[in-house]
Structure 1
Amino acid sequence: MNNIFDLKLILIMICYAVLNGTSAYFLKRGIDDVKGIEMTIKGFFRNPFRGINQLLKVPMFVLGGGVSVGGFLVYQYALSTYDVSIVKPLTNLSIIIIFILGYQLLKERLKKRELLGIAAMISGLILLSMYVTEKSTLMDLANMIIFSIILIIVCLILISITLIKRNKKIDEYLLTMVSGLLFGLGIIYNNAMYLYKEFSLTLEFFFYNPFFYLLIISYFFAFFIGMAAYSVGRMTIIAPMGNLLSMGVPVLGAGFIFYEDLVILIDGAIVFPFSFFKIIGIILIIIGTLIMYPKIEPLRKLEPVQS
């Protein structure tokens, strides 16, 4: 049964938003304070243990990680009760906190084009959040494998482009995309955890659940690729864009893997445009992502020196 605006869910996700938004600020400050490590894809993964050790020596980074874990636990509670396609869009309430901290404390500024892109993506997530449904109990493992392979290939292509282009604006944009997509894939595995086995707060539930390990792997790469993006970019771009993109993955996966409805039936009938809010929302997120693609000025030809 569909309900509009579940108050309990909204309050839970506001709590998550505060934790997630403040953790993004602390992590950004921590990355800026890191010494002795090249926070790039090649630099970090060339020696990941040294990289992790250096990050753990930065108090701001450790604080951000701790706050992030608190937000993750709140998110788990919401995900164990509601559909992934409803919970994930509401996590982006943290964008409000991120903008306040980014503008006031980090003094970051966005271009009109970037603000327009984020506005389109936020409009999309609002449409995706309009109708709340109880959690689905269906899962297609074959479709999940196909979905995962396609997404990983896309991420590898985007990373390859950053290694070829070697441009900070491109890195800020594409590394954020990769991080968001991998976080979204992790959310798919996260949702599958609760469908694979009945939830219980025990070690057995986690250690004997294959999706728990897939979740850890995808989150690990998503997190550190996101840190590489933070090292060259702005929190007010990376955090909102990463969150919004990570939302698109579970919404698409919800229909393909968990058989959650993308077209909403209202009193058993299709009503335009309300029945298509989720589809319109996904389109707006894609449009917003394309609008935000960085404009790189071409290299000017050097004029010959007059002798």
Structure 2
Amino acid sequence: MKKIAVLTSGGDAPGMNAAIRAVVRGAIYNHVEVCGIIRGYKGMIDGDIRPLKSHDVSNIIQKGGTILKSARSEEFRTKRGREKAYKNLKENGIEGIVAIGGNGTFTGAEIFLKEFGVPTVGVPGTIDNDLYGTDYTIGFDTAVNTALDAIDKIRDTADSHDRVFFVEVMGRDSGYIAVQTGIGGGAELVMVPENPDSIERVIQTLSTGRDRSKFSSIVVVAEGEELGDAHYLSVKAKEMLPNMDIRMTTLGHVQRGGAPSAIDRILGSRLGLAAVEGLLEGKHNVMAGIINDKVNYCSFHDSINKKKPLNHELIRMVNILSI
């Protein structure tokens, strides 16, 4: 393999630039040319493909977002769009791809490989930490620390005014951010999609806390919570506990931005290099991950389709420590 390309697709995540840097320098170290595809699969279709040298990835490891940019591409979902993308890769002499992203990114890569045989190795870049085949995904640690910083500030206000705050964090299908943030932020309750809950338990927890002279509380809610979002839950709680001062805050996309933590910089670097080395060893249709601090390659099929279990021991810990 003489020439490869790297792209980022889907939602951005802190640490993606560290992965891009590792891909570029890992390829150059192995005497392989490397190109960057701008705006993911959209750029592949548009032919927005640029050579990358070592100096092009200098001074980026500390930056959030992605220097290659990211975009959704409805055209890539069509056979015609993928044909255009393949033609551009061939014209540029690209023989393999490192795709940094999440489920959608890997789904597109798997279909593309089946149709045109372009070897692809994925790197898990998503703050949700919801991909099977790796203990942690790039961006998760930074997102948790961002959410924790916000909750620490909200806690000051909650305590000053004897308020209950429902704080919504990201996690459409996964409660990883909510659980880690809840434990680190000393939340009284954590609500996640993986753990069936009821509004009655919320009311009981808040009421019991008030009976114990706990006048301020934090309830962390994952955006994918089946009972409803933080706004809905705060309204319902206010209806059932009219004497409590109840507010809500949605942290939203602030969790995606900012300088990556040391953990995400190191993780991005390890996985970017592992993807290049895997590609050069003949691996394809797999995601490079880390399990028990060792590099692990998991098929795209398993990474996309297998559910990554949430550690329910952490939920139990929240319930114990919030008394």
TM-score by length of 2: 0.27
**Larger Rg: 1 or 2?**
2
Which one has a larger percent helix, Structure 1 or Structure 2? Answer: 1
Bigger proportion of residues as strand: 2
